[in-house]
C-alpha cells in the first residue's frame, strides 16, 4: 500500500473514532513510529481535524463536527461522482437539502484549472440519461427520516381526487419513471401498499400501532405485496420487446427467457387491473400471447374504448 492509499484508508479508519493512540496506526498499517507521525501530520495538512493530547496518557483526538473528513479521489473517481451528481438535476425534489450548482462549485474548488477545463469539455460531449421529475414532493425528507427511524405515521393522501387517511410505516423509497414512490405497511389492511410521494398531503407521527423492524419487512416483502385473490399472468413478447421491459417494469413481474421465447410473468391484485392493462398496451404488436383469457379480454375492451374515443374525435 503506497502512502496516498494508506492516507485514504486511514481517514476512513479514524473517521468514527473520538480518540486513538499512535500505536494503533503503527499496528494497523505496519509502519514505524516516525512514519505514523508523518502520516498524521499529512492528514492534518489536508484538513482532518486532529490534535494531540500530551502527557503520560497522551493520545490523539478527532474533533467531532458535521463535516466529513476529506477523502482522496483519483481523477476518474471525481469524474464519475461529478456526472452521477448531475443526474440530480432531473429531480424537482430530493430528500436532501442541496443545490446541484453549489455542489458543482465545490467540485471545482477541489480541482486544478486544467482538470476543470477537462471536466467542462467532457460535460459538453457526455451525458447520463434520466427521466425528468416534475412533481413537488413536500414531505420527501420527512418520509426518509421516518423510514430510517422506523416510525409509524398517519398520512393524508390524494387518491383520485379524494383525500384518504392511512396509518402506515414506510419501508422503501424509490424513484421510477418520473415519480417518487414510498412502499409502506398499511396497518389496517395488514398489507404492503405503494404511495406516490407527491400525492401525500399531510404527514405526522402516530402511536396507533407498534412499529415494526425494517429487517422484518425485507424478509416478508413478497408475501406482503401479493394478496390471496391476486391473478397470475403470463405474456409472451417478441425479442424486440425485451428492451421495453428493461426500460419499465415492476416488482410484481419478471422476465423469463426459455427456448428462445420471452415471457413476462407476474401477478396483479384486485383493483390493479387498470394498471396492468395500461402497462401491457405499451408493448403494442410486440405481444405474441396473453394468459389468462380474462386479461386478454380486458385488453381488447380497452382497445375498443380507445378506438371509439378516436372515432368520435374525427367526427
Task: Indicate the average pLDDT of the chain.
Answer: 86
Q: Is residue 292 reached through a cis peptide bond, with omega within 30 degrees of 0 on the bond before it?
A: yes
Assigned domain for 133 exists: no
pLDDT digits (tens, 9 = 90+) for 45-97: 777 778 777 655 568 888 765 455 556 677 788 888 888 888 887 787 888 77
pLDDT digits (tens, 9 = 90+) for 173-185: 988 778 899 999 9
* Structural domain for 48, as ranges: 3-62
- How would DSSP label each residue in 46-103? TT--EEEE-STT-EEEE---SSPPP----HHHHHHHHHHHHGGGGBS--SS---HHHH
Strands 179-186 and 191-196: antiparallel
pLDDT band at 16 (very low <50, low <70, confident <90, very high): confident
d(CA 225, CA 217): 11
Can you give the pLDDT at residue 58? 64
Provide the whole-model pTM: 0.62
Residue 315 confidence (pLDDT) above 80: no
Asked if 14 and 57 sit in the same domain, the reply is yes
Assigned domain for 130 exists: no
Coil vs helix vs strand at 213? coil
The three cell numbers of residue 295 are 386479461
Residue 263 confidence (pLDDT) above 70: yes
Asked if 143 and 117 sit in the same domain, the reply is no
Domain of residue 151, CATH code: 2.30.30
Residues forming a β-bridge with 289:
236
Q: Which of 16-30, 219-233, 291-305 has the highest mean pLDDT?
A: 291-305
Mean pLDDT, range 269-293, rounded to an integer: 94
More confident residue, 298 or 114: 298
Asked if 162 and 215 sit in the same domain, the reply is yes
Among 12, 32, 62, where does a domain finish? 62
Number of domains forming the structure of the chain = 4
d(CA 86, CA 100): 7
Can you give the pLDDT at residue 303? 94
Can you give the pLDDT at residue 6? 86
Coil vs helix vs strand at 136? coil
The share of the chain scoring above pLDDT 90, in percent, equals: 46
Mean pLDDT, range 87-109, rounded to an integer: 78
**Could you give the C-alpha distances from 62 to 15, 34, 221, in angstroms and in order?**
8, 20, 41
Can you give the pLDDT at residue 66? 47
Assigned domain for 68 exists: no
pLDDT band at 221 (very low <50, low <70, confident <90, very high): low
Can you give the pLDDT at residue 96? 78
Amino acid at each position: 500500500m503506497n502512502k496516498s492509499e494508506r492516507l485514504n484508508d486511514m481517514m476512513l479508519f479514524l473517521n468514527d473514532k473520538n480518540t486513538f493512540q499512535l500505536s494503533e496506526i503503527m499496528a494497523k498499517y505496519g509502519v514505524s513510529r516516525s512514519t505514523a507521525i508523518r502520516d498524521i501530520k499529512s492528514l492534518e495538512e489536508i484538513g482532518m481535524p486532529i490534535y494531540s493530547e500530551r502527557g503520560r496518557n497522551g493520545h490523539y483526538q478527532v474533533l467531532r463536527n458535521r463535516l466529513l473528513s476529506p477523502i482522496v479521489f483519483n481523477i476518474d473517481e471525481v469524474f464519475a461522482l461529478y456526472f452521477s451528481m448531475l443526474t440530480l438535476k432531473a429531480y424537482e425534489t430530493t430528500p436532501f437539502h442541496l443545490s446541484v450548482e453549489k455542489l458543482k462549485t465545490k467540485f471545482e474548488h477541489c480541482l486544478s484549472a486544467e482538470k476543470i477545463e477537462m471536466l467542462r469539455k467532457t460535460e459538453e460531449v457526455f451525458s447520463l440519461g434520466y427521466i425528468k421529475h416534475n412533481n413537488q414532493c413536500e414531505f420527501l425528507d420527512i418520509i426518509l427520516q421516518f423510514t430510517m427511524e422506523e416510525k409509524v405515521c398517519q398520512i393524508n393522501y390524494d387518491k383520485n381526487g379524494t383525500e384518504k387517511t392511512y396509518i402506515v410505516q414506510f419501508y422503501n423509497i424509490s424513484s421510477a419513471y418520473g415519480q417518487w414512490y414510498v412502499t409502506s405497511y398499511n396497518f389496517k389492511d395488514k398489507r404492503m401498499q405503494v404511495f406516490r410521494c407527491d400525492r401525500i398531503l399531510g404527514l405526522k407521527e402516530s402511536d396507533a400501532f407498534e412499529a415494526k423492524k425494517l429487517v422484518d419487512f425485507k424478509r416478508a416483502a413478497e408475501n406482503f405485496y401479493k394478496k390471496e385473490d391476486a391473478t397470475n399472468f403470463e405474456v409472451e413478447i417478441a425479442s424486440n420487446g425485451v428492451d421495453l421491459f428493461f426500460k419499465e417494469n415492476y416488482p410484481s413481474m419478471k422476465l423469463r427467457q426459455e427456448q428462445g421465447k420471452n415471457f413476462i410473468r407476474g401477478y396483479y391484485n384486485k383493483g390493479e387491473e387498470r394498471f396492468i392493462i395500461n402497462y401491457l398496451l405499451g408493448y403494442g404488436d410486440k405481444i405474441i400471447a396473453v394468459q389468462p383469457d380474462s386479461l386478454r379480454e380486458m385488453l381488447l375492451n380497452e382497445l375498443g374504448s380507445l378506438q371509439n374515443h378516436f372515432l368520435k374525435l374525427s367526427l
